[in-house]
Structure 1
Amino acid sequence: MQETPFCLRVGYLPPRSMSDSNRTDFTNPSTFILLGIPGLETAHVWISIPFCTIYAIALLGNITILFIVKTESSLHQPMYYFLCMLAITDLVLSTSTLPKMLSIFWFNSREIDFSACLTQLYFLHCFSVMESGIFVAMALDRYVAICHPLRHSTILTNHVVVKLGLAVLLRGGLLLLPYPFLARQWPYCRTNIIPHTYCEHMAVVKLACADIRVSSYYGLFLAFFLTCLDVSFIAVSYTQILRAIFCLPTQDARLKTFGTCSSHLCVISVSYIPALFSFLTHRFGQNVPLHFHVLIANVYLLVPPMLNPIIYGVRTRQIRDRLLQLVTHKGNEVFCLRSGFQTKL
C-alpha cells in the first residue's frame, strides 16, 4: 500500500529487491545503513555541492527572517509571527536531514542508530505537517486582513496567534507520534539497508518482516485527511479573498490588495508543486530509476526551506526595506572604520 507524499513530504520509495548478500540474520538491528542515492555513489561528492549550498542559503535566509522580525517592532504582527513559525519549521526540516546526508556524501558515514533513525523520521514528518498547518494559519490571516480589515487587530490578537501556533504544534506532534512507536515494534529480520538519504517512514517500515498494514494505512489516512483538510481550508479562504478583491472599485486597488497575498501563494506553490510531482512520479513512474525517485524526494524536502525566505524577502516591502537598512548600515560602518584607519596612518 503506497503512502502519498503530498503535503507531508512522504518520499515513499518503490519496492526494490535486495540481493542475498545484503540480507543478514538478525532481529531488531541496532543500526540502519543509509545508501545515499543508489546508483550515483560515484557522484555523491559532486551532488553534495548544490545540497550544501541549498542548506547554507536556507540557514542564512531563515535566521535573517527571524532576526529582522524580532528586532523590527513594526513587524510584530500576526502575518510575521506566522512567518517566523514557518522559518523555524524550515530550519528544523533542513537540519534534521542535511547534516547526515552530507556525512554520507563526504565521509561515507552510512550507519545511523536505530533510535536516531526513528527520531529523524518523527521530526521530518512532524514538522512537515506543522508547515502545512502554518500555511492554513497564513491563509486565515490573509482572509481576515482583506475581508474584515477593520476587525483584523481584534480578531487575530496575540493571544489568538499563540493559540493557533499551539494548535499547529500539537496537531503535528500528536498525529505523527504513532509513526516511531509503530516502527519500533516491528521485527526487522531481513535487512537493515535503506536505499535512501534519510529515514523516511515507509522506507523504514517496509523493511520489517511483519504485517505492516497498520503503519501503511495510518500513514495513508493521515496523508489524505490532512491534505484534503488543509487544501480545502486554503481554497475556501482564497475564494472569499478573490470575491472581496473583485468587489474593489479600481484596478490599482485590486492589484495592491492581491499583492499582499502573492508571497503566501508563491510559498504554497513552492511547497506543494514539487510534492505533487513526486507523488505522480511514484504513482505512475514505475520505470523511473530509483536514483531519480530519491533525488526528487530530496528536492521537495530541501528546496522550499531555501526559497521561502527569499520569496518573502523579495516580495514583502517591510522585510526588504529592513534588510536594505541593515546592509547599508553595515556598509557605512565598514567605510567609517576604513576611513578612520587611513586617517590615523
Structure 2
Amino acid sequence: MKFRNMTNIKDFIITGFPGLVPEYYGPVSLLLFVVFLVILIGNVFILAVIMFERNLHKPTYWIFFHLAVTDLAFGTVTLPKIIARYWWNDMVSSFSACFTQMYFVHALGAVHSLILLMMALDRFVAIWLPFRYPLLFTNQNVSIACCLCWVLTFIRMMGIVLHASTLPYCDLNIIMQCYCDHISITRLGCGDKVAYVKSVAVGNAMVTLLVPLTVIILSYFFIIVAVLRMPHTERRHRVLSTCAPQLFITCLYYVPRCFVYLANNLGFSFSPVARIIITMTYSLVPAAVNPAIYCFKTKDIKEALMQRFKNRKISITSPLGSVLLRAQ
C-alpha cells in the first residue's frame, strides 16, 4: 500500500501517563512541578556560584557549568507542557511545537553526553598527564570545546528532525509519552520510509551514546589503574574524591539508559506506563540530583559556599557588635 507524501494531522495529543485516573492528576502534577522547581533552582544556583566565585573559574568547573545548562534546559523544555496537561488539560501540541520539542530533547541529550565525555577526559589528562594538563585544559580551550559540542550537535540533530518531518502523518496523532521524542513521533508516521527514518535515528543515537560512553569507560578505567598504582593512601583518597562526583554523575546518566537498551534487545518488554516512568526517571533525576552532587561532593564548590556563608555571617554580626559597643 502506497501513501502520498502528505500529512493530514495538524496537532499531536500528549497523553502523559496512560491510564492515570483524574483523582491522581493533582498529586502527579504537583510532583512534576516540585521536580521542575528543584531542577530550576538547583541548576541556576550552581550556574551563579560558578560564575561569581573567581576561585571556580577553572576548566573543570566550566565543564560543570555547561552540564548544568543542559540539565536546566532539558527540564525547561520537557516539564512545563506535561504539567499543563494535568493542571489545565492542555493535551494538544501543534505539529511544529512537537517537532521543536523533539529537536531540543535529543540535541540536549547528545550535548549532555559529550559534556560528560569532556569531564572524563579532563580527569584522565589531569591524572595521567599532569604536566601537560595546564597546556591542554585551559579555560579558553575548554570553552571552545564545549561550544563546539553545542554547535555541532545542534546542527547534526537538525538533520535528524528534518528527516523525520519528511514522513507523512496520516491519521494517528496520539503520543504515548510525556513529551515529544523521535520514537513516539515516527511511530505515528506512515509510508515506506518509516523504517529507514527510524534506522537512521537509531544509528545516530548509538553513535551519540556509545562512542562517548566507550571513551568514558576507558578513561575511568585508566584513572582507576593510576589510583591503584599510587603509593600514598592520602593521595589515592584525594584523587578518588575528585573523580567520584563526576563518575557518579556519569552513572546516573548512562546506567538507566543502558539498562533499557539491553532489556529491549534481550526481549524484555515494558508496559507503556513502566516505559514512560523509566524514561522520565532517567531523564529528570540526574538534572535534579546533579546540583546536590556538585555542592556536597566537590571540594572546591563546598569550600567556596562555606567561605561565602562565613563572610555573610561576619557581615551580619559586625554591625550588631558595633551597636553594642556604642551602647556601652
**Cα 1:326/1:44, change in 2 over 3 Å:** farther
Equivalence map 1:122-271=2 (5 Å): 122-211=103-192, 212-271=194-253
Deviation at 1:327, TM superposition (A): 4.2
1:278-334 superposed Cα distances (whole Å, 9 cap, x missing partner): 334545333x43111111111111111001111111101211122234445556667
Q: Give SS of 1:33's match.
A: strand
Q: Give SS of 1:38's match.
A: coil
Deviation at 1:238, TM superposition (A): 1.7
Q: Is residue 9–residue 171 contact of structure 2 (8 Å, CA) maintained in 1?
A: no
**Cα 1:333/1:210, change in 2 over 3 Å:** farther
**Cα 1:112/1:339, change in 2 over 3 Å:** farther
Moved more, 76-85 or 27-36: 27-36
Q: Is residue 62–residue 143 contact of structure 2 (8 Å, CA) maintained in 1?
A: no
Equivalence map 1:37-116=2 (5 Å): 37-42=17-22, 43-116=24-97
Structure 2 counterpart of 1:22: none
**Cα 1:29/1:68, change in 2 over 3 Å:** same
Given the two structures, how large is their TM-score scaled by the length of structure 2?
A: 0.89
Q: Give SS of 1:141's match.
A: helix
Q: Give SS of 1:27's match.
A: coil
- Structure 2 residue corresponding to 1:312, chosen from 288, 294, 301: 294
Q: Are 1:32 and 2:12 matched, yes or no?
A: yes
Q: Is residue 127–residue 223 contact of structure 2 (8 Å, CA) maintained in 1?
A: yes
Deviation at 1:47, TM superposition (A): 1.3
State the distance in 1 between where 2:19 and 2:155 align: 37
State the distance in 1 between where 2:149 and 2:223 align: 23
Moved more, 126-135 or 271-280: 271-280
Q: Percent identity?
A: 30
**Cα 1:185/1:98, change in 2 over 3 Å:** same
1:214-259 superposed Cα distances (whole Å, 9 cap, x missing partner): 2211111012222221111112212322232222211221121121
**Cα 1:278/1:329, change in 2 over 3 Å:** farther
State the distance in 1 between where 2:143 and 2:304 align: 25
Structure 1 counterpart of 2:3: none
Q: Which residues of structure 1 form unaligned runs of 5+?
A: 1-25
Q: Is residue 130–residue 171 contact of structure 1 (8 Å, CA) maintained in 2?
A: no
State the distance in 2 between where 1:63 and 1:56 align: 10
Given the two structures, how large is their TM-score scaled by the length of structure 1?
A: 0.85
State the distance in 1 between where 2:213 and 2:264 align: 21
Moved more, 206-215 or 262-271: 206-215
Equivalence map 1:271-286=2 (5 Å): 271-283=253-265, 284-286=267-269
Aligned-partner residue type, residue 38 of structure 1: P
**Cα 1:209/1:147, change in 2 over 3 Å:** same
Moved more, 152-161 or 198-207: 152-161
1:139-196 superposed Cα distances (whole Å, 9 cap, x missing partner): 1110111112222211112332123113311332122112221222211112211111
Q: Which residues of structure 2 form unaligned runs of 5+?
A: 1-5
Q: Is residue 16–residue 178 contact of structure 2 (8 Å, CA) maintained in 1?
A: yes
Q: Is residue 117–residue 215 contact of structure 2 (8 Å, CA) maintained in 1?
A: yes
Q: Is residue 281–residue 293 contact of structure 1 (8 Å, CA) maintained in 2?
A: no
Aligned-partner residue type, residue 160 of structure 2: Y
State the distance in 2 between where 1:237 and 1:194 align: 39
Q: Is residue 124–residue 220 contact of structure 2 (8 Å, CA) maintained in 1?
A: yes
State the distance in 1 between where 2:39 and 2:55 align: 24
Aligned-partner residue type, residue 312 of structure 1: Y
CA RMSD of aligned residues (A): 2.5
